Amino acid sequence: MTRYFPFLRWMGDVNSQSARADLMAGITGAVVVLPQGVAFAMIAGMPPINGLYTAMVLPVVAALFGSSRHLISGPTTAISIVVYSAVSPYAVPGTPEFVKIAVVVTLVAGMIQLLLGIARLGNLVNFVSHTVVVGFTAGAALLIGMSQLKHVMGISVTQGASFIQTITELTQKIGTTNLYVFLVSTSTLGIALLLRRINKSLPYMLLAMVVGSFMAFFVGHDKGVSVVGELPRGLPPFEIPDFHLEEIVKLVENSFAIALLGLIEAVAIGRSIATKSGQKIDGNQEFIGQGLSNIVGSFFSCYAGSGSFTRSGVNYSAGAQTPLAGVFAAVILMIIVLFVGPLAAYLPISVMGGIILLVAYNLIDFHAIKKITKTSLRESIVLLITFIATLTLELEYAIYLGIIFSLVFYLDRTSQPRFVELAPDEKLKRRMFRNPALHEHVQSCPQLMIRRVEGSLFFGAVESVSAKMNELFRRKEKHLLVVANQINLIDVSGAEYLVSEINKWRKNGKQIYICGLKLRAREFLKAGGFWEEIGSDFMFEQKGEAIEKIFPLLNVDICATCHVRVFNECKNQK
């Protein structure tokens, strides 16, 4: 039963103490999500109430059917901007037609996520590198910021304009900035920053919105300070999504990008918090939970959502013990909306613009960007490509492009296993093998080459390995010991190449020995008959065992004049 109803796993842990902790965390979460729900809906091109609906329905379903005890789902910045990008070509943002299409996209994205979870493809998100997410998020944050500057400055900009077009129009119209609107926006932003600096645990965004709204009230709406408008006073209405097969086919591509990004966010955030809580996250169950939450949400006028890092972090820090905290947060938000909804009539759009600028800035992970650019050129290229693609292409293509380049660099790296020279270090008590290139006192035997292969021996790596083996083949030494304890994978192409290379050496009076091969690789070679072709006499468990067998085969005349004497066996040689 727990496989189909995962909430049964933690329901037994609920008691009066945990319920109190979850209730307090739920109250905190409801206060945090209130301004975020309105802000994210504006980013997505949806009416503000739909953002709050999303924050009410999705957390409940995801909490009941997901695997994380602290992950809070709902509207997020990245998903919101992808929804806007996906739906705006077909309808004007904020209109009923836009909402209708966004709900259909949510339904399709949820179905994709659910199918991926049922198919046990939870490891799919592992192929999306952290660098791609960082680059995409930074680009999305810049797009969000640019989309809100028109509200901050009180300038009209062409709806649905590209990043470059928006910059151009804002630059051309900067002289028409409404100073009253600009003052309200920047003051709201400044107050939020000040409150966050004083105490990060304060609901600084909510308080800044209240102060900014009072400022706008005193400035007066006749100065061009427009408001959000009164929110409906009801709970999320049940309504079957209005869709047609042709419409679904048209939206599948965009829906898949939303589904993939949502899964990446949810699993990454869940795992991040699990490292602190010690909980184990089931990727497949998380896929199912996210899929069901979006499917159910589409029947209650919600748009696509995912796990929220901010709200999940707040939930964990507030002491939540079970997913019941997410349910409490959603219920409390419903109660708040029933009483606070009419007050949105006094909420200026310019105030929301200032808050969203802060949200966009917080979205950029400057620490991760700095670390990536300092440590890896390849990762930096992936970061830059994803970032630029996010600004210039449709967002779903930016994600795909980042993934493709990330995989290309990964395959290029794995297709070139390193060959590291090894030799015994006489200064160490157990005479461990070390790289002579890094330790000047370590010397290699003039008759036996020892190389550790670091990487997998698969079809993509055969050419690179062959080139390196040819270099060793041309040397005067007749014996090569391959230390294979870091070969994680051998496929048929790699095994066939290994057999042919060993045969080539033998035909020319030379020999290859292998030691330390992992059990999985051994079983593969035995199952395919490659083990017999190589010969068990040339395969060893340990380096010492291999050297003991190889040493008598070395040329004694060379040993007689050798002053290196790196092996224990050399001590008995006159």
Same domain? For 218 and 191 the reply is yes
Domain membership of residue 1 (yes or no) is no
CATH number of the structural domain spanning residue 448: 3.30.750.24
For residue 4, being part of any structural domain is answered with no
Same domain, 425 and 398: no
Residues 333 and 450 in one domain: no
- Considering only CA atoms, which of 305, 318, 303 is closest in space to residue 29? 318
Rounded to 10 degrees, the C-alpha dihedral 50/326/293/49 comes to 0
Q: Are 87 and 304 in contact (CB under 8 A)?
A: no
Integer Cα distance of 413 and 129 in angstroms: 14
In sign, the C-alpha dihedral spanning 354, 75, 124, 255 is negative
Domain membership flag for residue 456: yes
pTM for the structure as a whole:
0.72
Tell me, yes or no, whether 319 and 235 share the same domain. Answer: yes
Give which of 371, 351, 369, 367 is closest to 359, Cα–Cα.
351
Q: Which of 364, 389, 410 is a domain's end point? A: 410
Query: Do residues 405 and 275 share a domain?
Result: yes
Strands 418-421 and 448-454: antiparallel
Q: Which residues contact 561 (CB under 8 A, 6 or more apart)?
A: none
Are 167 and 44 in the same domain? yes
Considering the domain architecture, whether residues 79 and 120 belong to the same structural domain is answered as yes
For 27-129, where are the E strands, in sequence order?
73-74
Same domain, 379 and 484: no
Distance CA 425, CA 442 (A): 6
Length of the chain: 574
> For residue 152, what are the domain limits?
17-410
CB distance 263 to 307 below 8 Å? no
Query: Is residue 12 in some structural domain?
Result: no
Q: Which residues, 6+ apart, have CB-to-CB distance to 311 below 8 Å?
A: 29, 32, 33, 36, 72, 74, 329
The answer to whether residues 306 and 455 belong to one domain is no
pLDDT of the chain along its 574 residues, tens only? 777 788 888 888 889 999 998 998 888 788 778 878 888 898 899 998 999 999 999 999 999 999 899 999 999 888 998 899 889 889 999 899 999 999 999 999 999 999 999 998 877 776 777 888 888 878 878 887 888 888 888 888 776 677 888 888 888 888 888 888 899 899 989 998 998 888 877 777 778 888 888 888 887 766 777 776 667 777 899 999 887 777 788 888 889 989 988 888 888 788 768 767 778 888 889 999 999 999 999 999 999 999 987 788 778 877 889 999 999 999 999 998 888 767 766 778 888 788 878 877 877 889 989 999 999 899 999 999 999 998 888 766 787 888 888 888 888 888 999 999 999 988 887 788 999 999 888 899 999 999 999 999 999 999 999 999 999 999 999 999 999 999 989 999 999 999 999 999 999 999 999 999 999 999 999 999 999 999 999 999 999 899 999 999 999 888 888 888 888 888 776 6
Shared domain check, 476 and 559: yes
Looking at the fold, whether 468 and 551 belong to one and the same domain comes out as yes
Residues 273 and 186 in one domain: yes
Final residue of a domain: which of 356, 381, 410?
Answer: 410
Given a contact cutoff of 8 angstroms between Cβ atoms, the answer to whether 231 and 341 are in contact is yes
3-state secondary structure at position 104:
helix
How many structural domains compose the chain? Answer: 2
Q: How many CB atoms lie within 10 A of CB 426?
A: 13
State which of 389, 410, 431 marks the end of a domain: 410
